[in-house]
Chains A and B, each alone.
Chain A
Amino acid sequence: MFRRALLGLAALLPLGIGVARAAPPAPAELKIGTLYASSGPFASISMPVYDALKIWINEKNAEGGVFVKPYNKKIPIKLISYDDQSSTATAATLYNQLITQDKVDLLIADSGSVLTSVAVPIAKEHKMFLFDVSGTGGTFFTKDNPYIGLMADPVSTIWPKYIADFLDDIGVKNGIKKVAILYSTNDFTGTQAAAVRGFIKKAGKLDIVYDQGVPTSTSNYTVLLNNIAAHNPDAVLELGYVGNDIAFLRNLQDSGDKFRFVFTIYGGTEMDELLKNVGAAAMQGTFSYVPAALYDYKPNFGPTLEQFRAAWDKAYPKGSGVEWGANAVYGYMTGLVLERTLATTASMDQMAIHNAVFGLSGKLNTLDGPFALNAEGAQVGEITPLGQLQMQGKDLKLVAVYPPKFAKGKADLGK
């Protein structure tokens, strides 16, 4: 009797182990939560991210869902999204709602540092990993917060390195001595200004003759340009959002002032948008970052830039009111990181998500370039090259000019 019972138990043992190892019951859908800004000053950088994320979700759902390793099957994605209207106060409420009411499985921040800044403490408090699309503010990434990872842009503390390196190297050789820095006072451009100021001062080759912050809402730069010109700088760095750059470049053209080196962030990053509002004549000769939307990286996962552009044009044809630009790449690239994360995570626990995201660091190459995080979750994989907007025939092109390993042309600093 005892032997039969023992044999029966022995027969059940493998079954019992099998039950313990089986995948947990899979949910009917995977809830991804995010915010977007359909209006306000950040709409032009937010909507392309959101629209591109939807392309990725639609692609996955058309394939039956995204593969989730802990459940060992594909699960359809349900996107839960709210409009924060570019308001940090509204965004804070809605991030809380996504976590506590909607109970999303994965949380994606809205685009840009301003609207990400309120998500960082909320995600940390709720121990929810934050997929930070393009909030590059240096203060977001700290040793005591494992619940954040920057997806697309390099962290602002290193992002402007090539600007300073170019001025210290090529600039000094060509007689550039004095630099003016004009920046919008927010997490993103404030950090960029601090970084570039630090790089220039550390090298000690250039003299910063003008260094002023202005509110992000600034829409007229005429008097500021007059004041800058009074200091007679060779190089002017204007660090602002899209609306700031449009107003700055228009006012610069109107002022008749000429500087040998003029830099704006969005002249290259959202080139189509700037070109539409400013015109080629006002942008020609200025410098900007060369974003992934204009640089052909070799991905080891996901589509090439050309393939994604085709999908984008199909989803949002010309005249649809949705502009192509770097932020479109950032949104889709975030989807690709999510896809690899879900395919490799040990469980859906948020620290397991953290481990999976950090496990991709140094291994993943997408259409946005190499993905690498430092210990605090800041993106350090790719520092955006410096480019100059140059006329090629009748077209204005952004030509990578620095560093030499990325350069596809030579900078023209004029006289």
Chain B
Amino acid sequence: MLVGALFAGLVFGLYFTLVGLGLNLVFGVMRIVNLAHGDFLMLGGFAAYGLFSAFGLPPLASALIVLVVFTLLGLPIYYLVVPRLLAARDSEMLSIILFFGMSQMIEAITTIAFGATERSLPGRLLGVGPVILLGQRLPSSWVYSAVVSAVAVVGVYLYLYRTRLGTLTRAVMVSRDEALATGIDVHRVSAIAFGIGIALAGIAGVFAPFMLGSVTPAIGAGINIAAFAVIVVGTLGNPLGTVLGGIIYGVSLMLMQTYLSSWANILPNLLLIAVLLIRPEGLLGRQVRRA
């Protein structure tokens, strides 16, 4: 049971890397907390459900559409909200309030439009039955989700370290003011990062019916808590640290389910408290971040 839990946790954790990746990218670039992140993930799930119901599109095709549409969706949202937010004295705190309101609105509108009940996609779309990997049985949908997550991580890495836009993005992450002073179009760079962040949440949402059983308009809040645990453990503002955070979260969750199943839901809070008390900069952080 122990080996099975560890292996499953590793793969499940890769999915939660994808869940937290966009949130961490947005925080790293803009120093704002997108509390609507879980709701964008939920919208990704509903988009996949809608695309399958209307056109019979499989999840992988839906993920590509969500990537494009959500990135484009992020641009106007950024310009509408974020520049004014960043001009405020306490933009981090204000962002929590503002995006909390946005989260409530998205949930309410989705409930009115689609109802409050669970939506899912047929399991057969990502294969039926288990896959044997290193002697361990895993649902094939987990393998697909983990592969997509790995591709997303590599994509974000290539974007940040192998493209000119990525270099500019990293410059903004280091110091927004200095980036501005050197002539970088900070808002353009940030808007693209915001779009990518939302798109990553949307792609995670496409696979949510397979990893979480179903999606409802109300899943956003729970997703946010898990995503925060992942990125705080991995290091706030370091998108690639999310990988470590996701794997620790996944493995811990599966171990809790195996040995202390009744207490499994307190795990994200435990991880958050433990990391903030012992190593507030996160496991990959170099120093305490000054807000």
Contacts and interface: CB of A to CB of B under 8 A. Distances in A.
B247 to A, nearest CB: 15
Contacts of B213: 219-220, 243, 246-248, 250-251, 277
A39 B111 contact: yes
A47 B218 CA distance: 14
Interface string B110-140: 0100111111101110001110000001111
A181 B231 CA distance: 35
Interface stretch (B25-33, B190-198, B257-265): B257-265
Contacts of A254: 123, 128-130, 139-142
Contacts of A222: 8, 12, 138-139, 142
B4 A38 contact: no
B262 A230 contact: no
B1 A227 contact: yes
B265 A43 contact: no
A243 B8 contact: no
A240 B141 CA distance: 23
Contact of A256 (B9, B129, B263): B129
A185 interface: yes
A38 B264 CA distance: 26
A277 B261 contact: no
B214 A223 contact: no
A359 interface: no
Interface string B75-112: 00000000000000000000000000000000110010
B115 A322 contact: yes
A226 B7 CA distance: 12
Nearest to A274: B118
B254 interface: yes
Interface string B250-274: 0000100110011111000000000
Contact of B118 (A86, A223, A243, A281): A243
Interface stretch (A4-12, A89-97, A210-218, A380-388): A210-218
Given A38-B111, A253-B128, A215 B265 contact: yes
Contacts, number: 137
Interface residues of B, number: 45
Nearest to B110: A39
Contacts of B222: 217
A137 to B, nearest CB: 17
Contacts of A217: 222, 265
B117 A321 contact: yes
Given A226-B8, A227-B1, A227-B258, A255 B212 contact: no
Contacts of B140: 254
A44 B219 CA distance: 13
A223 B117 contact: no
Contacts of B8: 222-223, 226
Interface residues of A, number: 47
B169 interface: no
A187 interface: no
Contacts of B216: 39, 41, 43-44, 243
A243 B214 contact: yes
Nearest to B219: A219
Given A41-B218, A226-B137, A227-B258, A321 B119 contact: no
B189 to A, nearest CB: 36
Nearest to B222: A217
A316 to B, nearest CB: 10
B212 A321 contact: no
B211 interface: yes
A279 interface: yes
A223 B262 contact: no
A273 interface: yes
Nearest to A43: B116
Contacts of A321: 114-115, 117
Contacts of A86: 218
Nearest to B260: A212
Contact of A223 (B107, B124, B254): B254
B130 A256 contact: yes
Given A215-B265, A322-B115, A250 B218 contact: no
A86 B115 CA distance: 14
A282 interface: yes
Contacts of A220: 12, 211-213
A13 to B, nearest CB: 62
Contact of A215 (B1, B138, B210, B262): B262
A219 B264 CA distance: 11
A36 B118 CA distance: 17
A314 to B, nearest CB: 18
A43 B138 contact: no
A278 interface: yes
B1 A282 contact: no
10 contacts: A40-B116, A44-B216, A47-B116, A215-B265, A219-B212, A220-B212, A226-B1, A243-B213, A277-B213, A281-B128
Closest 7 CB pairs of A and B: A247-B213, A321-B115, A43-B116, A254-B139, A215-B265, A277-B120, A219-B212
Given A220-B212, A247-B213, A254-B123, 17 more contacts: A39-B218, A40-B218, A41-B218, A217-B265, A220-B12, A222-B142, A227-B4, A243-B213, A243-B214, A243-B216, A247-B212, A255-B139, A273-B118, A277-B213, A279-B123, A279-B124, A322-B115
